Amino acid sequence: MSALHPKNAAHKAALLGAEHWLCMERARYYTESHRESAGLHPSLRAARAMQRVFEKMTVRIEPDELLVGNRSSQLIAPPIAPERGDFTFIFGHLMEELKEFGYRISPSDERVLRDEIIPYWQGKTVRDAKIAAFQRHGLSSPLNVSPREIRRKLRTFGVGALVRLVVEQEDEGDHLDLVARLPRLLRAVRAGSGDNLKGRGRCTDTQAHIVLGHKNVLRLGFSGIDAAARARRKSAKTDAERAFLDSVELSCEAMRAFSERFAVAALAQVGATSDPERRAELDAIADICTRVPWLPPQTFAEALQAIWFTQNAAIISYGAGSGITPGRVDQLLFPYYQADLAGGTLTRAHALRLVEEFIIKLNNNVIIWPNIGGVRLNHLGSDVENITLGGVGADGEDATNALTMLFMEAITNTNLATTASFRVSKHSPKDFVRQVVAIHRETNSPAFLNDETAIQAMVRDGYRLEDAREYCLVGCVEPSGNGDTYGATGGSKVYFPTALDMVFNRGKTSFFGNQDGKDTGDPTRMGTFAAFLAAFYTQLESLVGWVTDATNLRDTIWAENFHNPLISSTIDGCIHHAEDMTQGGATYNFGAVGGGGLGTVVDSLAAIRTFVYEEKSVTMAELRDALASNFRGRAALRKRLLTGPRFGNDLHPVDELARELVARFCAMVSARKTACGGHFKASLISYGLNVYEGALEPATPDGRMAGEPLSNSMSPSNGAERRGPTATLNSLARIDHTHIGYGNSLNMRLPVGVLKSEKGIESVAHLVHAYFHKGGFHVQFNAVDSATLRAAQARPQDYADLIVRVSGYSAYFTRLGRRIQDDIIGRTEFETST
Amino acid sequence: MSESDAFRVFDIQRFSIYDGPGIRTTVFLAGCALRCGWCQNPEAFRGEHATVLRPDAVMAEVLKDLDYYTVSGGGLTVSGGEPLLHIAPVQALLTAAKRHGLHTCVQTSGAVSQAHLAAVLDLVDLFQFDLKHMNSARHKQLTGAGTERIHGNARFLRDQGATVQFRMPLLPGINDDAENLERTADFLLGHGAADLRLVPYHRLYVDKYAALDLTPGLPALVPPTAQDLQRATERLAARGLAVAVDG
Ligand code: SF4
């Protein structure tokens, strides 16, 4: 492997050392335009607003950059989309905390935020409309956080959980400070959980989570997209269709004007630069920016710049934290790479430098997570812009190419938290998996995806086979169409332990306490485990119903008010249907419902079966009371429950519970229709949020205490894996992964030291091959040992670039909250024989 | 259940990657005629820590990882203790493994009757054979038995055309002196073996002794340093032996 190009080493150092800012440019100009466009069609309002943003926002060319296109006025400052409501909520309530976490904001930006942006959007955002709609439909209720209620919840959840819910703050020394802040924080809790779904799941404000149509931008340029919209306008039948097509034209024009601003900036810098090499680079930048993304690119450098411009502009338009995905970059770029190499106009070394720079830029995608319980999740670092590498092409033949390898090298050299998905098929080069495993010695990024399983799942969900083969990974590990799908692969979720809680409480959740669900009867009178399980599935079915209803209400708000013609213009189907992606314009439309806490609930069900129904050593009443009191005074019972059989150990009866649960959950989810006419798809992913997902869940029959983390994604509970990696993979593979349309993830810590020997690397590759042969969909490995992680906790400054994977995320370990750090350390390390 | 159709298993370790080719499951059987002061598996001679199991029960566990063996060319390794002490159940286990097409490996100290080796010859794809010390008196001092029978068995396996991989625990100050290394190399070359795997002594197992209320026979023994390993490797290589160090 080569070393990171010196200029890219400087870019990387700048990124890692940069201050985190809050920049109001995107928010301010969008708001300014929106104020003026009342009464217009939502597509036109959005197009005009983005046109204003691209005209007025700061354009920066960083020293020695070859790829240009900044996100905001600072090197690190996420673009803020106030119309969503998640950002305005967090700024309105938690600015103090954001500043504590190191975010800076200029006094003038803070003034604009306080005096213009927040007041204008009050009551108009997606979030505001969503909360009102949920309440109208009885889906959420105002959260009572009176002191009396707090006392009640403290009894069930313990101080830790509630404090964690408010703000991750476990240091006793800060107690006074916390008490002082408590009233404000409780107001934040109330506002932040306004969409609470009564504790029965989650439905975020955003949709997105899509693969951009970079393929169309490369093929047509925005000039070609513009022409297609004009042509389609001739046959448009309604004002709404014409308005959408006009908005596409405006968006294309805006993209052209935006890139030309970079050409102008580059030329301005030429004059101010004496270094002849840099002058030549700036000239080249100016040339490229006058051509792309307006015209179809002709060279590798132009193609990469076109992708970056489009990617960056899409993220500015949707706002940070939206899972905007570049897709199959090795496939998109390969024709240009090949032609340039053949024509002698490009060297591999130069292509590598460009790709390294591209990857560094992808990692500059900091998010401010608007999750009240997870404030510190903004320290996850980057939102995911997952790049998909390798796999088969539309014809079913292996499409792994020289650029796949070049990207692999660039990912290794940059050693950042790049989320990269390596597609593996039966036709992949023989050594491919081993090579990807070997890069774990240097960086922790890669995930493995199984083409056979993913493609089968896509076809099952209605994709044409050729389209299915082009799938890309969105967000963490969600397979979605390549620029032809409005996927919204994330954001809505139910937690399996909630259904269990509602069985024990006969339709109520412990945290909210309202009688909202069905009374499935007295659990102490359920004579058989089958009867208990039936009650559990009844509750789960209701959860899925609520969360899909909520999601459809939210999606209707987007469809009626907040369009994105820029992104839509790149997606197959939108111009043809003359409809925005939020209205169902794309060729394929789906929604998502995640399921959380599989390991926790399977272990819990197994414990109930074993102790209550088989051994009869615990009565259901004892268990119910123990859970309600968070095991207070029942340490012996808890200890016993902890000895129960666990998912992830190749135990057939336990795995069978998991298999059935996933199959039934997926069937419940796919049976529900989305607002756009497609159906929902299930996923089992935690987005690294499992620590917070447990905060509202009471104690569970697996011995987990109230408020403790749930199990992560489809992985077994922390510490449950005791029979080594093959046993865990066998357990996981008993589940039919082709039903899980939006994917599942399995995170495995590699045995410490296994990467030191060739035999070890080869054996890990064999694990992947065998797991995929058995139908597994995804696996990724963490190769950092716990001693290193503890050292990093103690001396974060020395480990600034230590990367781990949290669920499908890659993240900088030292920027994670302490609890997530501990959760990672707590993950089982398998012992191998030596 | 009689002793003849069951054996005492003190561990079944899946995803074993250093006990033969590919991914393997290693079955550890209790019982050993030797008492090496550095033994990592003291459970081997404290039979009460083992579970009495029939070969078919063990085979069921082994077959759980069949897919991994198929992909990696791995299989079953029988270890111990000395796995060939009680031959009937081992023979049954290996027969079942071959019936399922698994690669089979037996890790032996060589301190067994030749008839037992003969009984499994056709069932074993690879013998991993330990050489601890060349000097019989010293060997007896260290392990409780001389080298005669062990070396005789090594010759027997060679004569029968078995595939044998010799291994040597590298014990600083005990068997890594020039003389012993050279004699080891010469012995191997004389037996048509071209290579040797060095297994560096480590202390990861010492907690096991405390848990079993035992004391390690050589409490002062320390793991070889990188230089120790290099010196030993070079000495052996100088005689013309290919040396690999186990992970
Ligand atoms: S031969 Fe092996 S099992 Fe027996 S005592 Fe020596 S090291 Fe332990």
| Helix, coil or strand: residue B115 | helix
How confident is the model at residue A380, as a pLDDT? 37
* Confidence bin at A19 (pLDDT 50/70/90): confident
Q: Which residues pair with B199 in a beta bridge?
A: B169
Burial class (CB in 10 A: 0-12, 13-18, 19+), A32: middle
Structure tokens at A680: 């929902």
The lowest-confidence range among A719-733, A755-769, B108-122 is A719-733
DSSP A146: -
How confident is the model at residue B47, as a pLDDT? 65
Nearest-angstrom CA–CA distance, A516 and A608? 25
How confident is the model at residue A180, as a pLDDT? 67
Token pair 């045995």 is found at A751
H helices present in B121-238, as ranges: 136-143, 148-159, 178-190, 206-211, 226-238
Tell me the per-residue pLDDT of A256-287, one tens digit each, with 9 for 90 and over: 999 999 999 999 999 899 999 999 999 999 99
* CB spacing of B18 vs A833 below 8 angstroms: yes
Residues in chain B closer than 8 A to A724 (CB atoms): 13-15
Candidates A409, A400, A586, A574; CA nearest to A480 is A586
Nearest-angstrom CA–CA distance, A308 and A409? 19
- Half-sphere exposure (Cβ direction) of A364: Cα atoms closer than 13 Å: 30
* Number of domain units in chain B: 1
Token pair 């012996």 is found at A636
CATH code for the domain in which residue B240 is found:
3.20.20.70
How confident is the model at residue A171, as a pLDDT? 44
Nearest-angstrom CA–CA distance, A137 and A196? 13
How confident is the model at residue A535, as a pLDDT? 98
The lowest-confidence range among A366-375, A531-540, B34-43, B216-225 is A366-375
CB under 8 Å to A257, separation ≥6 — which residues?
A: A51, A54, A55
* Confidence bin at B200 (pLDDT 50/70/90): confident
**Distance from Cα B81 to the centre of ligand 1, integer Å:** 6
Nearest-angstrom CA–CA distance, A28 and A125? 15
Structure tokens at B199: 């297994």
Handedness of CA A799, A800, A803, A808 (dihedral sign): positive
Candidates B27, B101, B98; CA nearest to B62 is B27
Pairing assessment for the beta strands B103-108 and B75-80 based on DSSP bridges: parallel
Tell me the per-residue pLDDT of A52-104, one tens digit each, with 9 for 90 and over: 999 999 999 999 999 999 999 999 899 999 999 988 888 888 888 778 777 89
Helices (H) and strands (E) in chain A, counts: 32, 18
How confident is the model at residue A371, as a pLDDT? 36
**Does residue A829 have a pLDDT over 60?**
no
Question: Which is higher by pLDDT, A322 or A644?
Answer: A644
Question: For chain A, how long is the longest CA-to-CA vector?
Answer: 85
Nearest CB among A757, A760, A766 relative to B22 is that of A766
CB A308 within 8 A of CB A315: no
Nearest CB among A759, A766, A834 relative to B202 is that of A834
**Does residue B148 have a pLDDT over 60?**
yes
User: Most confidently modeled of A164-168, A416-420, A649-653?
Assistant: A649-653
- Residues of A near B (Cβ–Cβ under 8 Å) read 650, 723-727, 730, 753-754, 756-757, 759-760, 762-763, 766-767, 769-770, 773-774, 830, 832-834
CB A467 within 8 A of CB A481: yes
- pTM value is 0.91
Among protein residues, the one with the nearest Cα to ligand 1's atom 3 is B81
Q: Which residues pair with B174 in a beta bridge?
A: none
What is the distance in angstroms between the CA of the first residue and the CA of the last residue of chain B? 39
How confident is the model at residue A179, as a pLDDT? 64
**Distance from Cα B32 to the centre of ligand 1, integer Å:** 6
How confident is the model at residue A732, as a pLDDT? 97
**Does residue A832 have a pLDDT over 60?**
no
Nearest-angstrom CA–CA distance, A281 and A7? 13
* Confidence bin at A418 (pLDDT 50/70/90): confident
What percentage of chain A has pLDDT greater than the value 90? 67
ipTM: 0.92
Question: For chain B, how long is the longest CA-to-CA vector?
Answer: 52
Q: Which domain holds residue B88?
A: 3-245
Residue of B12, B16, B17 best to disrupt the A interface, most CBs of A under 10 A: B17
The lowest-confidence range among A359-373, A477-491, B171-185, B230-244 is A359-373
Q: Which residues pair with A382 in a beta bridge?
A: A366
Nearest-angstrom CA–CA distance, B61 and A370? 48
Burial class (CB in 10 A: 0-12, 13-18, 19+), A772: buried
Burial class (CB in 10 A: 0-12, 13-18, 19+), B130: buried
Mean pLDDT value of segment B26-38? 90
CB B9 within 8 A of CB B30: yes
* Confidence bin at A825 (pLDDT 50/70/90): confident
Tell me the per-residue pLDDT of A524-579, one tens digit each, with 9 for 90 and over: 999 999 999 999 999 999 999 999 999 999 999 999 999 999 999 999 999 999 99
Tell me the per-residue pLDDT of A680-706, one tens digit each, with 9 for 90 and over: 999 998 766 666 677 778 899 999 998
How confident is the model at residue A542, as a pLDDT? 94
Ligand 1 interacting residues, C-beta cut-off 6 A: B 32, 34-36, 39, 41, 44, 80-82, 109, 143
- Half-sphere exposure (Cβ direction) of A554: Cα atoms closer than 13 Å: 27
The lowest-confidence range among A344-353, A414-423, A446-455 is A414-423
How confident is the model at residue A747, as a pLDDT? 84
Pairing assessment for the beta strands A210-211 and A324-325 based on DSSP bridges: parallel
**Does residue A167 have a pLDDT over 50?**
no
